[in-house]
């Protein structure tokens, strides 16, 4: 019996040039065909955005690998078909995404600065609550978006330079559940309108005004069940107009490209891309650390900061009446003081009694044996 065709195995490939010797086209993303409806109602326009996000360059999306111009660009309003191969022809300057952007710890000169509560306080003042679920601040984490290095300066052509991991433009206030999914579940955010995508082109946002600003949470997963269980597709509830220290598009786009590579990049692609970008983003070496503290102390400081935030959240809940303290009466206090002052002496007395009982038993046995 013929087995039904499984669309999960049908791939749409996005390719672009890495300007390696030979100028060959390299497969950058292999996206399951049935994933497209979960991201955009205009899949070709979404692929065009991914090409821009990966290359940091304007360009043309085409079904042809031949040198192209706007006349050969594919119609971005048309759907995709299983097995199609799309080519992103870059134009102008190119700044490929750092493939380590979501995996490598910051080498900022004070990398322990992310333990500073000023970052959290600033995000609370700016965002108020979780921007997606509206959870209260004591149930939220100040989530860093990127591991900042030279990325913003290079990809903006020197127009923007965010060089501190604790810059509020590099963070969002999100609830602890979403934060955990962002850390382990390949979660990123897409701002619209952007390039060929309007805000109504994002999946599930058909009623949104095309030109209104929208920030949508996307989960990168190969399991369709995870889309249903996660906060995939949530729209941020934003305070408008956006404040000056709101994360710029370049931050969101870099994060989006980084997780796209993690989710759909073919084996070996990230390593190949790194050969092109590592010298650009890490002139002193990828794994060089310029922090002035060791890893063990860094872990300890991180734990202390987490404990401090947990205590603060608990205190906030107590003040709101969500936690009830146990009340002690006078007799409880007397018993507690007696136990505190007399417990050690009581333990010593019990131990002495055991020794005495054992000694008496030994003496009785000895007397019995001598009498035999």
Spatial separation of the C-alpha atoms in residues 237 and 249, rounded to whole Å:
17
Cβ neighbours around 15 below 10 Å, total:
17
pLDDT at residue number 91: 85
The 3-state secondary structure of 25-49, one letter per residue: EEEEEEEEHHHHHHCECCHHHHHHH
Rounded to the nearest 10 degrees, the angle between the axes of helix 117-127 and helix 295-319 is 40
- HEC profile of the chain: CCCCCCHHHCEEEEEEECCCCCCCEEEEEEEEHHHHHHCECCHHHHHHHHHHHHHCCEEEEECCCCCCCHHHCCCCCCCCCCCCEEEEEEECCCCCCCCCCCCCCCCCCCHHHHHCHHHHHHHHHHHCCCCCCCCCHHHEEEEECCCCCCHHHHHCCCCCCCCCCCCHHHEEEEEHHHHHHHHHCCEEEEEECECCECHHHECCCCCCCCCCCEEEEEECCCCHHHHHHCCCCCECCCCCCCCCCCCCHHHHHHHHHHHHHHHHCCCCHHHHHHHHHHHHHCCCCCCCCCCCCCHHHHHHHHHHHHHHHHHHHHHHHHHCCCCCCCCCCHHHHHHHHHHHHHHHHHHHHHHHHHHHHHHHHHHHHHHHHHHC
Note the pLDDT of residue 6. 39
Q: List all residues 6 or more positions away from 123 whose beta carbon is below 8 Å from its beta carbon.
A: 142, 168, 171, 172, 173
Per-residue pLDDT reduced to its tens digit, 244-288? 999 999 999 999 999 999 989 999 999 999 988 988 888 877 665
pLDDT recorded at residue 49: 97
Residue-wise pLDDT for 50-93, tens only, equals 999 999 999 899 998 886 666 678 999 999 998 899 999 888 88
Give strand pairing partners of 197.
194
What is the predicted pLDDT for the residue at 132? 92
Q: Rounded CA gap, 110 and 52, in Å?
A: 32
Model pLDDT, residue 338? 52
Question: CA-CA distance, 153 to 170, in Å (whole number)?
Answer: 14
Q: What percent of the chain has pLDDT over 70?
A: 66
- Give the per-residue pLDDT at 289: 39
Write out pLDDT tens, residues 342-361: 656 656 666 766 667 667 66
Distance CA 202, CA 301 (A): 40
Domains of the chain, by residue range, sit at: 111-266+289-319, 335-372
User: Rounded CA gap, 298 and 276, in Å?
Assistant: 31
Residue 352: other Cβ atoms inside 10 A: 10
Integer CA distances (angstroms), 272 to 58, 60, 261, in order: 22, 23, 12
- Residue 16's Cβ-count burial label (10 Å; 0-12, 13-18, 19+) is buried
Low-confidence ranges of the chain (pLDDT < 50): 1-9, 105-115, 289-295, 297-298, 328
């Amino acid at each position: 019996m013929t087995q039904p065709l499984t669309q999960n195995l049908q791939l749409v490939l996005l390719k672009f040039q890495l300007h390696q010797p030979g100028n060959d086209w390299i497969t950058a993303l292999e996206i399951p065909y049935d994933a497209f409806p979960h991201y955009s109602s205009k899949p070709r326009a979404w692929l065009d955005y991914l090409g821009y996000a990966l290359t940091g360059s304007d360009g043309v999306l085409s079904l042809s690998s031949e040198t192209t111009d706007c006349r050969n660009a594919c119609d971005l309003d048309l759907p995709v078909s299983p097995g199609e191969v799309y080519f992103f022809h870059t134009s102008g300057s190119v700044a490929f995404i750092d493939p380590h952007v979501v995996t490598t710890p910051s080498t900022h000169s004070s990398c322990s600065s992310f333990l500073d509560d000023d970052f959290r306080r600033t995000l609370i003042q700016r965002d108020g609550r979780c921007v997606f679920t509206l959870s209260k601040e004591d149930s939220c984490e100040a989530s860093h978006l990127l591991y900042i290095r030279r990325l913003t300066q290079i990809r903006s052509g020197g127009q923007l330079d965010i060089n501190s991991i604790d810059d509020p433009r590099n963070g969002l206030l999100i609830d602890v559940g979403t934060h955990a999914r962002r850390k382990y579940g390949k979660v990123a955010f897409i701002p619209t309108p952007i390039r060929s995508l309007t805000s109504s082109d994002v999946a599930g946002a058909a009623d949104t005004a095309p030109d209104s600003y929208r920030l949508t949470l996307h989960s990168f997963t190969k399991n369709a069940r995870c889309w249903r269980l996660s906060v995939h597709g949530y729209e941020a509830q934003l305070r408008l107009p956006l404040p000056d220290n709101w994360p710029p598009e370049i931050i969101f786009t870099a994060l989006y490209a980084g997780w796209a590579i993690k989710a759909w990049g073919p084996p070996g692609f990230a390593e190949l891309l790194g050969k092109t970008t590592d010298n650009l983003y890490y002139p002193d070496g990828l794994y060089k650390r310029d922090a002035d503290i060791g890893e063990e102390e860094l872990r300890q400081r991180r734990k202390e900061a987490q404990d401090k935030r947990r205590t603060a959240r608990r205190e906030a809940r107590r003040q709101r009446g969500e936690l009830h303290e146990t009340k002690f009466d006078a007799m409880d206090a007397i018993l507690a003081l007696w136990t505190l002052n007399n417990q050690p002496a009581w333990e010593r007395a019990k131990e002495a009694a055991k020794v005495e009982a054992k000694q008496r038993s030994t003496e009785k046995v000895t007397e019995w044996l001598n009498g035999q």
